Chain A
Amino acid sequence: MAGFELASGGPLLSVRDLRVRFVTERGAVNAVNDVSFDLHEGETLAIVGESGSGKSVTAKTLMNLLPRTARVSGEVRFDGQDVRALASCGAKHFFGVQMTMVFQDPMTSLNPVKKVGEQIAEGLRYHLGRSRGEALSEAENLLADVGVPEPGRRVSQYPHELSGGLRQRVVIAMALSCRPRLLIADEPTTAVDVTVQRRLLDLLDGLRRDRGMAMILITHDLGVARGRADEVAVMYAGRIVETADAGTLFGDMRHPYTEALMRSIPRIDDPVHHRLDPIPGRPPELIDPPDACAFAPRCRYARHDCHDGVPELSGSVGMHRFACLHPTGAERGQAALAANRAAHSSSRDGDGGKDGSGNSGKPDRGEKPDGGSGKPDDGGSG
């Protein structure tokens, strides 16, 4: 792949051709395939996708948190340094200081047997050599920064004495303690109450801005990315299927999967009792994937040629890139959609149609390009 811009001026984080495979008894799982992206200092990249799309594995790869069974290839550079080499030689004071991560579930990401203050102070003491007293008072300040009420009392409490929302704030305080330049937030609000999700996201965004920190925000919700991300990468079946700056992606999306994700988000201006538009079927298995577009079995734009090889991601890193033969909003896509509709309505007279008629009035989703035989989630046997 193309060379990197090194050191200053270049991106803070640069990922090239990242691949992760897990060898299991049932076969090799290709969890991440050919993922490349850049992230600049102070910017936010949102990685969006369903569960199983490889977004969390990507994050864990960056943090060197994968189990030993994982086979990783590709290059990850942080400010010019080779992160995977740093990790394998056990470099001190890199993770936690330069880049760190916040996990999905605050109920499990705090150690139940250690006081909250100790856990926050730990990084400060180890990385920055603070004394116990200094570190604890800094922990108190950090708790105040992340909006924890009565920080002085909280530092000496145990995690089980705090609510889920408070615990996630503690986790954030812990992650930010050594002023990292990059924070990876893996679905930071999925496991907390809906009522505090938005506040937590805004808090993270504010902290990021105050500290000039870069952030990778991993989410399954495009709505979360909107307004908070500078760049968005949509992942499906271990690949980036579309990536662009946020304005372009939301205004001019090209991949049918991005479109489908967008349509499955409830909107405030939807009519009451409006049915959400779910994506039919399930994400494909990642064991021995077929040599085809992984989304094709669930895609209403899919044609026969979608089953001949994996579509390449167009363009180079930094541009609006998408991996689709029949992109939405383009002539080829509209033609494919029209052809599929025609084929679908003629085959429905024949075999009754598998989608049922509950969707009348809206375009049917999930038509098979080859005549509607089989279920939409048959794993892409094309």
Chain B
Amino acid sequence: MARFLARRLVLLAAVLLAVTFCGFAAMNLLGDPLVNVVGVLAELDCEAIAAGTAQDTAVDAAGSDCDTVAAAKAQYHLDRAVPTRYLLWLGDMLTGDFGTSFQNDQPVSAVLREKLPETLMLLVMAQIVSVGIAVPWGVIAAYRANRAFDRGSTVASFGLLAVPNFALGVVLLYLLALRWQIFPSAYESGDFASRVFSLVLPAFTLGLPLAAGYQRLLRTDLITTLQEDYVHMARAKGLPPMRIMFRHALRPSLFSVVTVFGVSTGTLIGGSLVVEQIFGIPGIGREIVTAVVRDDFPVVLAIVMVVAITFVVINFLVDLLYSWLDPRVRTR
């Protein structure tokens, strides 16, 4: 177990290094970050000005533009080569300093602290919704395989999978928030309960299509498991159908669902970008959209890193789940 954990931690570190390096390179090579900090001033030829061969555009009491540029360069290490900058950023990051946002000079860690909880809460709620719906749905569909309920649920699940998040979100919003006014139509900050409550609709928007996907997988695996001899044996023991379903058939049938659960975390984060926009949730989904548009790379990098950590950690938990699901994995 300790070795398993250690291997996982090394893997996590490797993934994070790769992800941040690629992100850093992309942000630095595809555009000049200096432009994003000081705007047109980046085009000033300060060396020429210093040599006296060119004129500084605006010299006033606040100091020369070249001073501004030099200060910005120093603040963001923009006077160094890109690899050096990466290492400096990495070092700062390890001490908890994610740099400052280009947009508003806020420290990135403050941005994360403010926006991350909402998004994580949304993701957790979405997964709770999806699993909570998918398990009973898949069980009933498998139990009544190829009968009316199962056929209907096949149609329904393909429908849910085909509808894009924003459409589903808008429909839910219209019906449950505007028409019947059960849930708030927009995010309400405030105490924990009201925040959770206002995340219910977004969670369903994200969770329902996932539930449809999980349901398909679970149904198929359950139908296979129900043909197994040990299920026949359980029936020969005279156990009632639902007890057999939950105590014998369900656990061995969860592998695909659990695997996809881990992988779908990525999809879910992508989906939350859209859903946060629709419902006006101040989460990192919205944050990253504006940050990318404005080439605010400290923020983008920090969010990319958070997403990568979440993804790796979830899949690590999935691996732990495998060994709970099947004792044969443990001895390997």
Chain A interface (Cβ within 8 Å of chain B)?
A: 60, 63-65, 90, 92-97, 100-101, 103-105, 108-114, 122-123, 126-127, 158, 160, 171, 174-175, 178
Contact = CB atoms under 8 A, between A and B. Distances in A.
30 contacts: A65-B236, A90-B240, A92-B238, A92-B240, A95-B236, A95-B237, A96-B238, A100-B237, A101-B233, A101-B236, A103-B233, A104-B229, A109-B230, A110-B233, A111-B234, A112-B252, A112-B328, A113-B251, A114-B247, A114-B248, A123-B238, A126-B237, A126-B238, A126-B239, A127-B238, A158-B327, A160-B327, A160-B328, A174-B233, A175-B236
Contacts of A63: 235-236
A110 B231 CA distance: 9
B45 interface: no
Interface residues of B, number: 22
Q: Please name the 10 residue pairs, one residue from A and one from B, whose CB atoms are nearest each other, closest first.
A: A96-B238, A95-B238, A108-B229, A101-B236, A109-B229, A96-B237, A111-B230, A158-B327, A109-B233, A123-B237
Interface in B295-332: 325-328, 331
Contacts of B228: 108
B238 A110 contact: no
Interface string B216-259: 00000000000011101111111110010001100110000000
Which of A100, A105, A111 has the most chain B CB atoms closer than 10 A to its own CB? A111
A92 B227 CA distance: 22
Provide the main secondary structure of the chain B interface: helix
A126 B243 contact: yes
Nearest to B226: A67
Interface of B: 228-230, 232-240, 243, 247-248, 251-252, 325-328, 331
A113 B237 CA distance: 17
B239 A113 contact: no
B230 A96 contact: no
Given A112-B327, A171-B233, A96 B239 contact: yes
Contacts of B238: 92-97, 100, 123, 126-127, 178
A97 B238 CA distance: 7
B148 to A, nearest CB: 14
Contacts of A158: 327-328
A105 B235 CA distance: 16
Contacts of B235: 63-65, 95
Given A105-B229, A160-B328, A111 B237 contact: no
A90 B230 CA distance: 20
Given A108-B229, A109-B230, A111-B248, A100 B243 contact: no
Contacts of A111: 230, 233-234, 248, 252
Nearest to A96: B238
Given A100-B238, A103-B229, A126-B239, 7 more contacts: A60-B232, A63-B235, A105-B229, A111-B234, A112-B326, A112-B328, A113-B325
Contacts of B239: 96, 122-123, 126
A168 to B, nearest CB: 12
Contacts of A122: 234, 237, 239, 247
A105 B232 CA distance: 12
B232 A109 contact: yes
